[in-house]
Amino acid sequence: MKITVMTPDEHFITLDVDGNELVENVKALLEVETSVVLRQQRLLFNGKEMRDSERLSSVGVRDGDLITMLPWTAGQSSSGLRLNPDGSVLDPASFQQQIRRDSQLMGQLHQNDPALAQAILGDDLDNLQNTLRERHQQKLQIVRKQEEELALMYADPFDVESQRKIEAAIRQRGIDENMEAALEHNPEAFARVVMLYVDMEVNGVPLKAFVDSGAQSTIISKSCAERCGLLRLLDQRYRGIAVGVGQSEILGRIHVAPIKIGHLFFPCSFTVLDAPNMEFLFGLDMLRKHQCIVDLKENVLRVGGGEVSVPFLQEKDIPSNILDEERLKQASLGQGFVPVEGSAGTRDNMAGASTRPVRSGNLQNSHTLGADFESKVTKLVELGFDREAVKQALRLFNGNEEQAASYLFGG
């Protein structure tokens, strides 16, 4: 009769054996096929381990049945050295010397398990024992997982809970395979992405500017504006609240100040926020105004349609306080304001939201601005602005569509 054996690495081997064959003889055949020595094999049928002295027919194996081979976890190594129940060896020095003398085995260890190979070649026997214990635990986890999967294979097909576990196991296997493929073909996806920063000067003061095409406005913090000597130009008539995931107080607006990018100067306007976690953010309003191009291929920011180019900073050039993501996250949660990152931004769970400043004072309701208010909102939304920001701008300018548009464009 023919039986199929599933190996620990999930390969399938078909054997032509007699029904009265001893399990020990089947293991001998598998030793030839898999190079796994007989005493390191565990054969399971219907979730139960078969003893070497048993015959296939006596345990119920029939033509076409599936047998599972699991890794050996008994207390004796293949070299005859005794193992402790936790996977360490009784005589680590003898074990170390014996493995060192086997050049072929050492070559395999260097290739498949460099850490264990280094522990065997080293002089620290405690480190060797700890490494062996770790490998034993890993092997036990693999065995338990395989036994659970095997139990599911033979579970009652009409049992709802069993089917739920099978579904979860299949889904998890798909996730694991997807992750393995990503690690092989797209390993950079598991690295932390450094945000885009450039060197620029604001009113003659050097800054590391965060380039954010997802933020509607260019933002400067109060402390940064004070350091740049711009706080005296703050127009507090533009006080209000910036609302995103949280909210932050808008202190006002600085209508124009010089910024230097590369060797050229450009006029720029800023929204001043009481947000210490974001020093300076170069937003979409100024990116549009100065025809900036984010060139990720060359890793540069081109300004003025390419008139000047400045490189994005490498991680080593960004101050550590900026890279301290946990500190920034805690600051954002404490302040309640999250700068806009747009649909593509993910830093600190940032969500797309409007940071357009709203003047404190007389904001009119929609029904007082005329019947065409909604049509004006629709027109401006079609230009790419956030709907709530459009409504606020129209209310701010008493329904004047042109002034609202100019305001939204940062003019």
* Contacts with 355 (C-beta within 8 Å, 6 or more apart), sequence order: 215, 216, 217, 219, 242, 243, 244, 271, 273, 339, 340
> How confident is the model at residue 328, as a pLDDT?
46
Indicate the pLDDT class of residue 246, thresholds 50, 70 and 90. low
CB 188 within 8 A of CB 358: no
CB 24 within 8 A of CB 53: yes
Span 240-244, average pLDDT = 68
Q: Which residue has the tokens 């092989």?
A: 184
Span 343-370, average pLDDT = 40
- Residue 350 CA, chain-centre distance (Å), reads 15
Residue 202: CB atoms within 10 A of its CB come to 24
pLDDT above 60 for 346: no
For every residue of 248-259, DSSP letters joined together read EEEEEEEEEEEE
Domains of the chain: 2-71 (3.10.20.90), 197-349 (2.40.70.10), 366-408 (1.10.8)
Choose between 14 and 362: higher pLDDT: 14
Of 77, 76, 8, 12, residue with least CA distance to 42: 8
- Tens digit of each residue's pLDDT (9 = 90 or more) over 289-307: 999 999 999 999 999 888 8
Among the listed residues 9, 86, 176, 212, the single catalytic one is: 212
> How confident is the model at residue 409, as a pLDDT?
65
- Tens digit of each residue's pLDDT (9 = 90 or more) over 199-209: 999 988 999 99
Radius of gyration from C-alpha coordinates of the chain:
34
Choose between 210 and 8: higher pLDDT: 210
Indicate the pLDDT class of residue 259, thresholds 50, 70 and 90. very high
Measured distance CA(281)–CA(291) in Å, rounded = 17
Q: What is the mean pLDDT of the chain?
A: 77
Whether this model's pTM surpasses 0.75:
no
* Contacts with 36 (C-beta within 8 Å, 6 or more apart), sequence order: 7, 30, 69
Span 347-357, average pLDDT = 37
> How confident is the model at residue 312, as a pLDDT?
93
Catalytic residue flag (residue 212):
yes
pLDDT above 50 for 334: no
The helix or strand, by DSSP H or E, that contains position 66, with its residue range, turns out to be strand 66-71
Residue 205: CB atoms within 10 A of its CB come to 14
CB 81 within 8 A of CB 95: yes
> How confident is the model at residue 268, as a pLDDT?
92
**Angstrom distances, CA of residue 160 to CA of 148, 151, 166:** 17, 15, 10
- Tens digit of each residue's pLDDT (9 = 90 or more) over 119-171: 888 888 888 888 888 888 887 787 777 777 767 666 677 778 778 877 887 88
> How confident is the model at residue 75, as a pLDDT?
42
* Contacts with 302 (C-beta within 8 Å, 6 or more apart), sequence order: 292, 293, 295, 308, 309
- Report the percentage of the chain scoring pLDDT > 70: 79
- Report the percentage of the chain scoring pLDDT > 90: 14
- Tens digit of each residue's pLDDT (9 = 90 or more) over 65-95: 888 887 655 444 444 456 777 888 888 888 8
Q: Token digits for 55? A: 């015959």
Of 239, 374, 382, residue with least CA distance to 394: 374
